[in-house]
Amino acid sequence: MRTHYDALIIGAGIVGAACASELAQAGLHVAVVEQEIVGGGTTAAGMGHIVVMDGSLPELVLTSYSQQLWAELLAERPADHEHLACGTLWVAADAEELAEAQAKQARYSAHGIASRLVAAAELYALEPLLRPGLAGGLLVPSDSVIYPPRSAALLIERARNHGAQVISAAVCALRPSGVLLADGQTLTAEAVILAGGIRSQALAPELPLRAKQGHLAITERYPHIIRQQLVELGYIKSAHASSGDSVAFNVQPRPTGQLLIGSSRQFDRSERSVDQAMLAQMLRRAVEYMPALAQLTVIRAWTGLRPATPDGLPLIGPAWQRPGVWLATGHEGLGITTALGTAKLLAAQLLGHSAPIPAAPYLPARFDKETAHG
């Protein structure tokens, strides 16, 4: 086996898989080191919502750019990704949230993203199960849903077709120009790319990452009882809170006819176990918006750990004070959507090409205390 690579990627989640595909297609000798299975970590725990988010301008830029890349990728073989072009319907509970929907529509429009304000009457025509008394909403047709572990596996397959190797091993330390594996073997590379989600911190403790645990529940099959992914507009407040626990109404139709019900955020819960009280709180929120959900049968609930940074933006680019190490992590709850954009940005920096979107907001060096204070 070869032990030197152009690029060695740690982690075969959706971000690592996208980076592997991008760099292998660029002609690099790529290895992906995965300690468990492809797409089995946070990638498998998430909703797979390809969504444009506008919590900040860089977030809007990265998510909308990534969504275009997804559209191209999904056009090839949509069924293999279990793609469902369901759109997102942001639900406004009252006049204040409806005003937020209008502001959101204006921001989307300025970035060329089609969206449409929906009055209360049309809201119920679209989704009859929503509770009465809601103010309206914003429909974003270009948003969609995939099954992330499948997409990760397909991206890895594409990387392999371009010569990438997948190595089943645990990395226990970063070494100058390479990594040390748990079995004592050393692999060397021109560039080591850390794409291990929250686990990246075990290898680079200085990374400003915190785990934000999320719960999800899935039902039996109830085909077509909802059509859009439904998210309360209050979600943005809850998603960007930098402390405390929160829940939001966020329900997704799966191609199987099942409903995926989210979402919750809890800081610093290291274990993966379900917190029954948090699950209850999350489901109660869902039932507040859609009372009929109470009658559905839930077959499974689980959790995942979102790797969150202090400013809510990912870490994409060279690690500070670690020559040869690059970061592609810290995507919090948007790793599925932004994986493809991340891969393009990282590849452009690595290969010295011009970046497709401004790279600065995502550069890890923004958290380098020495630079900041020096």
Partner 1 sequence: MQRFEIVVVGAGPAGIAAAVSAAESGAQVCVLDAGAAPGGQIWRGGAERHSRTAARWATRLRQGQQISVQQNTQVVAPLAAGELLVERPDGPQSIGYDRLILATGARELLLPFPGWTLPGVTGVGGLQALIKGGVPIKGRRVVVAGSGPLLLAVAAGLRRSGAEVRLIAEQSDWARLLAFGAQLPLDPARLLQALRLRATLGRTAYRAGCWVEQAHGAEQLEAVTLRHGAQRWREPCEQLACGFGLVPNSELAATLGCAINAGAVVVDYAQQTSVSGILAAGEVAGIAGVEAALAEGAIAGYIAAGRPAQAQPLLARRAAARRFARRLEHTFALRAELRQLASAQTIVCRCEDVHYAALAEHPSWRSAKIHTRCGMGPCQGRICGAATSVLFGWTPESIRPPVAPVALATLITTSSAHSINLEEHV
| Residue 44 near partner 1 by CB under 8 A | yes
Nearer to partner 1, 298 or 357 (CB): 298
CB of 279 vs partner 1, minimal distance in Å = 6
- The helix (run of H) or strand (run of E) holding residue 144 is strand 144-145
Nearer to partner 1, 166 or 348 (CB): 166
User: Which of 19-27, 126-134, 215-223, 354-362 is the region at the interface with partner 1 (rule: CB under 8 A)?
Assistant: 215-223
- Say how far apart CA 184 and CA 71 lie, in whole Å: 42
| Residue 304 near partner 1 by CB under 8 A | no
Among 23, 50, 134, 153, binds partner 1 (CB under 8 A): 153
For partner 1 (CB under 8 A), the number of binding residues is 43
CB of 311 vs partner 1, minimal distance in Å = 20
Nearer to partner 1, 152 or 327 (CB): 152
CB of 278 vs partner 1, minimal distance in Å = 7
| Residue 124 near partner 1 by CB under 8 A | no
User: Which of 39-47, 185-193, 205-213, 343-351 is the region at the interface with partner 1 (rule: CB under 8 A)?
Assistant: 39-47
Identify whether the C-beta of residue 50 lies closer than 8 Å to the C-beta of residue 83. Answer: no
CA proximity to 335, closest of 55, 10, 13, 12: 13
In Å, how far from its chain's centre is CA 26? 24
- Say how far apart CA 160 and CA 162 lie, in whole Å: 5
| Residue 157 near partner 1 by CB under 8 A | no
Residue 79: what residue type?
Answer: A
Among 4, 26, 36, 120, binds partner 1 (CB under 8 A): 36
> CA 369, 242, 342 angle in degrees (round to 5)?
65
CB of 137 vs partner 1, minimal distance in Å = 20
| Residue 102 near partner 1 by CB under 8 A | no
Nearer to partner 1, 93 or 192 (CB): 93
Collapsed DSSP state (helix, strand, coil) of residue 236: helix
CA proximity to 305, closest of 59, 49, 44, 81: 44
Among 175, 300, 353, 369, binds partner 1 (CB under 8 A): 300
| Residue 322 near partner 1 by CB under 8 A | no
In the shown chain, the binding pattern of residues 175 to 214 toward partner 1, with x for contact by CB under 8 A and - for none, equals ----------------------------------------
Query: Hey, which residues between 218 and 247 contact partner 1 (CB under 8 A)?
Result: 219-220, 234, 237-238, 241, 243-247
Q: Return the structure tokens found at 329.
A: 């992590």
| Residue 180: Cβ within 10 Å count | 15
| Residue 150 near partner 1 by CB under 8 A | yes
| Residue 53 near partner 1 by CB under 8 A | no
CA proximity to 207, closest of 51, 70, 327: 327
Rg of the chain in Å (alpha carbons): 20
In the shown chain, the binding pattern of residues 244 to 283 toward partner 1, with x for contact by CB under 8 A and - for none, equals xxxx-------------x------------x-xxxxxx-x
- Say how far apart CA 198 and CA 10 lie, in whole Å: 12
Identify whether the C-beta of residue 319 lies closer than 8 Å to the C-beta of residue 366. Answer: no
Q: How far apart are the first and last CA of the chain?
A: 45
Nearer to partner 1, 149 or 307 (CB): 149
| Residue 354: Cβ within 10 Å count | 6
In Å, how far from its chain's centre is CA 174? 25
| Residue 301 near partner 1 by CB under 8 A | yes
User: Which of 24-32, 158-166, 294-302, 334-342 is the region at the interface with partner 1 (rule: CB under 8 A)?
Assistant: 294-302
Residue 372: what residue type?
Answer: A
User: Which residues, at least 6 apart from 280, have a Cβ–Cβ distance to it below 8 Å?
Assistant: none
Collapsed DSSP state (helix, strand, coil) of residue 293: helix
CB of 369 vs partner 1, minimal distance in Å = 29
- Say how far apart CA 329 and CA 211 lie, in whole Å: 12
Task: Report the interface residues with partner 1, using CB under 8 A.
Answer: 36-40, 44, 149-150, 153, 217, 219-220, 234, 237-238, 241, 243-247, 261, 274, 276-281, 283-284, 286-287, 293-302
